[in-house]
Structure 1
Amino acid sequence: MLHSSSLPAATGVPTPATVDLTVVVPAYNEEHRLPRTLDAICRYLRSSPGRHAGWELIVVDDGSTDATAAAVREAAAAEPRIRLVGSPSDPGLPASHARNRGKGHAVRLGVLASRGGRVLVTDADLATPIEEVALLHDRLDAGYAAAIGSRAQRGARVEVSQHPLRKLLGRVGNQVIRAVAVPGVRDTQCGFKLFDGDQARTVFGRSRVDGWGIDVEILRMFHEAKWPVAEVPVRWAHQAGSKVRALDYVGVLLEVVRLRVRGALRRMRPADRVVVLGYLLVSVWLFKGLWADLGGSYLADSGQDQNQWEWFFAVTAHDVFGLHDPFFTTLQNHPLGVNLMANTAMLGLSVPLAPVTALFGPAVTWALVLTGGLTATAAAWYWLLLKRFVRSRRAAALGGALCAFAPPMISHANAHPNFAVLFMMPLITDRLLRLCKARGQEARGQEGGGQEARGHDDGGGHDDGGGHDDGGGITRRRTVRDGVVLGLLLTYQIFLGEEALLLAAVGLLLFAVGYAAARPAVARALWRPLARGLAVAAGVSVLLLAYPLGRQFFGAQSYTGVLHGSTGNSPRALVEFAGRSLGGNPATADALALNRTEQNAFFGWPLLALTLVVVVWLWREPRVRGLAAAAFGTMLLSLGRTIPVPGTDITLPGPWRLLYDLPLFESVIESRMAMAAVPALGILLALACDRWDAQARPADSTGRPAAVDRALKAVGWAAVAAAILPIVPTPLATVGRPAVPAFVADGTWRASVPEGRTLVPVPVPDPGRTEALHWQITAGLGFPLPGGYFNGPYGPDRTGIYGPVPRSTSALLTEVSRTGRIPDIGPAQRRAAREDLRFWRAGAVVLAPQPGDQALRLTVQRLMGAPGRWIGGVWVWQVHGDTGARPKAA
């Protein structure tokens, strides 16, 4: 399969049996450097016949477009131990190899073509001198399977003449790669590595990465195979013309993430796949109305939010492919604009899904985010439950389902994916548990309890890469590594939803307080590594988020906080059923919530009663006490600053009054705190179900007759069914969305709205009227709009409000729409209208058919001083000149 140049018959040409070292050099457009590199390698190998009696040098031409292949053939004519592999000019080479495929592909070809007992991979620039291979040989002689050159180990001699940005990104990239993929290796990307030949050919034959991430993939496979790898300090000097770009570390990281995901999928058992498929089917069933008519259906309970979210997805794709500022736009609220980082644009999904939005439209992205987000959230909690809390897959599946499909989650799934797509929370929780694990195990041993079996301890479970303290060094390194990963997870969650992260932090803090009260010795032992890890995580997050958060809090159209007033849950909301659930009554739920997207509790009395029973039953377990503190503490906080006593006029002070005016908390709708109780309830329920299922396991036998155990399990599962069935959600209701007027849909607007001018809908868009956002999307974001639906500043204190700062004309038109009455229009109103049109840079004023449109048409006509024209199903007043003083004649 591999094509190589014919070797000339000459004395000293090695055979497979006599090759003790193969040197592999990947090359792409290296015609100028290769002759010096090949000469240096050959001179060194010839000068050390004792170490390198039989050797070969393989150059892999990775689709070069210059004379690289010719340079290799010229060198091979003088030294027959040089071989050329993969040259695009070679006849018979498969077409797939005749183009540049990347370093990983080239190195893989070279290693698989090698015959040596040991294989050295080195870059064509020879940044590490070939003489350094002697140090690597020493490590293989000592029993290591591989030895890799390192620029990060003490003793390395590095001559750096790199650009500062390249140097910074290289260091940060290496830190991240170490943290998420190759524990214990400080420098994965140095291109100077010596492998045992047989083991190298084994792992390279299984590798799949074609790019720079090949180093990480190979080292990861050595780590998983428990083949020891030595990291050796070497000399290294940056070479001008290097093919590695500063941002290639980002590509390596993406490849690493892909590898980890692929590995996780490969390790999934068939039962796990069935569970995840079940979550997906439930999600599709819930959103079947959307999928039945993508683009034509609208979630009935979403209010104006579906239009807003589709606009967020559309404008992000517009920014990505147009290379515009992703954190700010003037397409809404023109000319002041919208601070996208200070709004729920959900860049963590809208950016990677930008190609989907561009190809299929934001309505498809909207449906995909909601469906896939709930599925991923359930799957992530299922994974965490199995890893840290329970053995029973049935118990984990139930707990994961409750965490993703509980009533508050489904309520927000109508309109707020930032509160429904929470798959990062289990990953963040897992990393926090890793930070606590080693010291916590040690402290439990000091208490005399030893380490309890998984399913009955503190939730630590098994750990890949954890372990006991060996005097501090390994534990500290793992703490740093876990802190780096936690920082990356937190950074990504910021781009998914900041308020959800804040709510989760409160829940985790309450869990920690409850757990510490039960296990004070463990708490004292683990707070230091936890604090160190959190400090590292904070450092990573601050570094990565400094610019985006600076734009959010201090940039254009930033604000200081959104004041909502008192929005706490009624105590009845905790025990009632959600309106869109099997046991719910929409009228009852509507009376207890702000709206149908904010039914933030509604757990139902059976589930809360069962939770109380489980807490009492398992109270001896410290983690149960922590979970109880998190569940009931966040529910209590969700009641707000004052708690009404049902059936009376009495109100009690609520604990939220301690938090409501603190920074960040001032913007929180306090009833949402109940959402932080959902994972605690799911985990408690999974623990109980796992305990019931454990009765059938001999190792957990209680000595009771088997019939009694079966009866107890049946009663337990029946209680769970009785608690869960009433809160099972029903499919989310959809309605047909209004048709976009032909004036917008067929592009007629272009004749009336000059470039750089706005289309002014009547009434001006605000959080109660957003159909114009859908028009704008249909028009390909071809025109900006005044007003809109977003969070922005108001007044000298820059207090956050929903929608634009009202102007005279927008307020007047809103009032006419609300009342249907035509106001008196005089010179003052016309002058204000001219000023507002000038401010908005209006190109045309457009009135679409709607309730009360007769009053609106006459009002606009009097403001503009002329009747509008009926064009494409709308009334149009075209504004001319810079003053916006008059419309063109009808």
Structure 2
Amino acid sequence: MLRNEADSAVAVLDRVAPEVARPNLTRTQRTAERLRLARADLIVAGAYLSLAVLVLSGQWLHADRGYLIKSGQDQTMWEWFFAVTAHDVAHLHNPLGSSLQNFPDGVNMMANTAMFGVGVPLTPVTLLFGPTVTFVLVLTLGLCGTAFAWYWLFSRELVSSRFAAAVGGLFCGFAPAMISHANAHPNFVLLALLPLIGLKLIRMARRAIDGTEVSRGRRNKDAFVLGLLVALQIALGEEPLLIFALAFGVFALVYHLHAPKTGLRIVRTLAPPVLLAALITVALTDIPLWWQFFGPQSYRSIDHGPMKNDLKALFQFPSESLGGLFAHGQNVAINATEENSYFGWPLWIVVAVAIVLMWRERAVRAAAAVMALFTVLSLGASATIGLGDTGIVLPWKWLDHVPLLNSVLESRFTMAAIPAIAVVLVLATQRALDYWSVSATDWRPLALFAAMAFALLPLTPTILPVVQRAPTPAFFTDGSVRQYVSGGSVVIAPPPTAPDARALRWQVDSGFEFPLAGGYFVGPTGSSKKGRYGPDDRPTASLLLKAQQSNKIPVIDEANRIQALVDLRYWRADVVVLPPTDNADTLRLTLDQLLGFPAKYVDGVWLWDVRGLH
């Protein structure tokens, strides 16, 4: 039987904690009391941390040469971000931009999600243990930290049961999308600040509902904390912040639809401190944001092309899960790091039934609205089933042209459904425990927990697969490269690109002894300043890449040789290096003809000293 809403678990959102007189305690007694109260929190945090370490144990066990194979080249890119940030901090260089990649134009680090919010404070870790350790540490802390932050919000503002809150935190931190991004994208894994931002807004809103008199000092403190949290999240990732802000707004709107006057009172009360918080955020981030949008190598937007969820992705099991091991359906994800839905059909059944049974709960209705809206947005401009276009036009067709939104991969909008689903699971668990508190023989809690096990066990994450990467050529690690660099760049044959960015790792292992032509980053192209992955194509780079892919030596004429000199001048090249790679003989013979003299073999690489050519 459904209870009255005033007696429901979600009423905690609108309830003021009673004042309880506390006896005078000694310092030791107060410490013991805090530890007793925190015991559940510590147990939950320890469980989350253990699971995060287990999921990433393959990388932790091989932090020297291990590589998360499903990351493509993204792990190399993120390690470079952390390494170059630490290098810049240690040498007192400006970390917002770097010419060590894409020389001489450089890279706008703020426009490349460099995550200064962790890259800068973890500089000692990067310098002492290397960027791979920083990379896997951020991923590990991201999984467990995000889970615990949502647990904290649920346990303090939504339900009284720590167990129910722990279920929600577990789902938020280890949902399929989180595990998928844990292969390569720490900016979509370390999301712990988002629930803290939500928590601050909820507490401010509750005071407005209660009519609690708040001093100017308290309002200013709230504004400062909120502005600081948002500024820190900008330093960790702006795209997750945008998705969260939109989802939180939808949740709040639907939650207060039944009492619009209350909602308007909250808006009026919160407007001044929120505006002050926005000013504080701008003050803290104005220079980095200016650099991102107007600084060197900035771009206006990036055209990802269609990056949507397939309808099948909503109901299939993720590849890195128990369900995926036994019943992985058609591969309809963008790639292995973007399984942003993959909730599995059992979970949707359980959530749908729970929503129907708890529809009177305002938080359930609001969560259902978030799930529906953002899932539809994630399907892109038209719905596809099994990669086949249905022709059904969806809202994203018009929203795709909205500034800021058009830079979001639409598939990622479904990540807003993760905390919304968690809210339903948390409230359902709390209700089941409430039933048990009335009658220990009530069958309904057992039915609910059996259904939740049926829905969640297939989503249990497995250990992310790791391979051993090839060692860096000795030419880069023993100092030989210094003999061939005189203020110019090293041109790898072919220059590094998004499909093969290994040269970034070699540069890191050399201690940043040289800048690289080309690279893996996002930068502007042409006069439109449209963002793209990697630099504008140079003819010589394209020629070498084509020769490697076809394994055929192209016909080299005088025009090719002249163009090669033009490109070498553009790159300010000191040396062209051919490391061990696919079809290396074809590349070597092509470059011999292109440059007009044979290569020299030094410390495991072929090289052409081109300082005398330009």
Which category describes the TM-score, using the shorter chain as reference length? Answer: over 0.9
Consecutive aligned runs of 4 or more in structure 1 exceeding 4 Å deviation: 262-268, 585-590, 645-649
Preserved contact between residue 310 and residue 387 of structure 2 (Cα < 8 Å): no
SS at match of 1:269: helix
Match 2:557 to one of 816, 820, 826: 826
Partner of 1:609: 349
Corresponding residue for residue 761 of structure 1: 492
Residues 93-122 of structure 1: CA deviation (Å, up to 9, x unaligned) = xxxxxxxxxxxxxxxxxxxxxxxxxxxxxx
Mapped pair 1:786 → 2:517: yes
C-alpha separation in 2, matches of 1:386 and 1:639:
32
Q: CA deviation at 1:271?
A: 2.1
Pick one of 307, 328, 339 that aligns with 1:599.
Answer: 339
Q: CA deviation at 1:266?
A: 5.8
Q: What TM-score, normalized by structure 2, do the two folds share?
A: 0.92
Select which of 70, 73, 83 maps to 1:301: 70
Note if contact 1:297-1:734 (Cα within 8 Å) is conserved in structure 2: yes
Instruction: Give the match for residue 4 of structure 2.
Output: none
Is the 1:693–1:713 Cα contact (8 Å) retained in structure 2?
Answer: yes
User: Quick one: distance in 2 between partners of 1:416 and 1:384?
Assistant: 24
Q: 1:686 to 1:560 in 2, by over 3 A?
A: same
Match of 1:435 in 2: 204
The alpha carbon displacement at 1:267 in A equals 7.7
What corresponds to 2:14 in structure 1? none
Relative distance call for 1:314 and 1:570 in structure 2 (3 A) is: same
Distance (whole Å) between structure 2 residues aligned to residue 761 and residue 587 of structure 1: 43
- What letter is aligned with 1:395? A
SS of match in other structure, 1:801? strand
Instruction: Report if aligned partners of 2:383, 2:389 keep a CA contact under 8 Å in 1.
Output: no
Tell me the distance in 2 between the aligned counterparts of 1:529 and 1:581: 45
CA drift of 1:649 comes to: 5.6
- Please give the alpha-carbon distance, in whole angstroms, between the structure 2 residues aligned to 1:614 and 1:594: 30
Residue 265 to residue 822, structure 1, CA distance change in 2 (3 Å) = farther
* Preserved CA contact (<8 Å) 1:589 1:599: no
Distance 2:481 2:64 in 1: 21
Residues 686-697 of structure 1: pairs in structure 2 closer than 5 A: 686-697=426-437
Aligned with residue 505 of structure 2, among 741, 763, 774? 774
- Cα deviation for residue 371 of structure 1 reads 0.9
Q: CA deviation at 1:660?
A: 1.2
Moved more, 816-825 or 385-394: 816-825
Alignment of 1:570 with 2:310, yes or no, is: yes
Once the 2 structures are TM-superposed, how far is the Cα of residue 646 of structure 1 from its aligned partner?
Answer: 6.3
Aligned partner of residue 524 in structure 2, secondary structure = strand
1:719 corresponding residue in structure 2: 451
Q: Does 1:807 align with 2:538?
A: yes
For residue 264 of structure 1, report the CA deviation from its aligned partner.
13
Aligned to 1:401: 170
CA contact (8 A) 2:577 2:606 kept: yes
What is the rounded CA distance, in whole Å, between the counterparts of 1:764 and 1:641 in structure 2? 35
Partner of 1:363: 132
User: Aligned residue for 2:588?
Assistant: 857
Q: Which moved more, 1:545-554 or 1:646-655?
A: 646-655
Aligned to 2:13: none
Bigger CA radius of gyration: 1
Report the equivalent of 2:474: 742
Unaligned 5+ residue runs, structure 2? Answer: 1-23
Residue 639 of structure 1 is matched in structure 2 by: 379
Structure 1 pair 793/586, CA: closer, same or farther in 2 (3 Å)? farther
Deviations 1:399-424 (A, max 9, x none): 10100100001101100000011010
Is the contact made by 2:382 and 2:389 (CA closer than 8 Å) also made in structure 1? no
Matched residue SS, 2:121:
coil
- Equivalent of 2:240, from 471, 491, 500? 500
- The answer for the alignment partner of 1:728 in structure 2 is 460
Counterpart of 1:512 (choices 252, 255, 273) is 252
- Provide Cα deviations, 1:518-556, integer angstroms capped at 9, x if missing partner: 332321221112322321111111111111100100000
Q: Using the alignment, how far apart are the partners of 1:846 and 1:579 within structure 2?
A: 38
Task: Map 1:445-460 onto structure 2 (within 5 A).
Answer: none
Return the match for 1:872 from 589, 593, 603. 603
**Residue 648 of structure 1: CA displacement?**
7.4
Tell me the distance in 1 between the aligned counterparts of 2:363 and 2:224: 26
Match of 1:536?
276
Greater RCO, CA 8 A, separation 6+: 2
What is the Cα deviation at residue 588 of structure 1?
A: 5.1
Q: Over residues 763-810 of structure 1, what are the superposed CA-to-partner deviations in whole Å (9 max), with x where a residue is unaligned?
A: 101111111001001000111001111110011110000111111111
Matched, 1:843 2:612: no
- Tell me, yes or no, if structure 1 residue 410 matches structure 2 residue 410: no
The percent of aligned pairs where both chains have the same amino acid is 45
Task: Provide the residue aligned with 2:115 in structure 1.
Answer: 346
What do residues 661-708 of structure 1 show as CA deviations (whole Å, max 9, x unaligned)? 1111111110010111111111211111111112233xxx4xxx542x
Match of 2:212 in 1: 469
After TM superposition, the structure 1 stretch with the greater mean CA deviation from structure 2, 783-792 or 652-661, is 652-661
CA distance in 2, matches of 1:268, 1:328: 46
Alignment gaps of 5+ in structure 1? 1-201, 207-224, 226-261, 442-467, 886-890
Are the counterparts in 2 of residues 507 and 631 from structure 1 also a CA contact under 8 Å?
A: no
Distance across 2 between alignment mates of 1:313 and 1:263: 40
What count of residue pairs does the alignment treat as equivalent? Answer: 590
Write the deviation string for residues 342-374 of structure 1: whole angstroms up to 9, x where unpaired: 111000000000011011111111111111121
Could you say which residue in structure 1 is the equivalent of 2:7? Answer: none
* Aligned-CA RMSD value: 2.3
Over 3 Å counting, the alpha-carbon distance change for 1:265 and 1:746 in structure 2 is: farther
Relative to structure 1, the CA distance from residue 533 to residue 656 in structure 2 (aligned partners, 3 Å threshold; closer, same or farther) is: farther
Distance 1:865 1:590 in 2: 51
The structural deviation recorded for 1:586 is 9.5
Aligned equivalents of 1:562, 1:265: Cα separation in 2: 49
**8 A Cα contact 1:479 1:529, kept in partner:** no
Of the three residues 292, 298, 310, the one matched with 2:61 is 292
Give the aligned partner of residue 658 of structure 1: 398
The structure with the greater share of residues assigned to helix is: 2
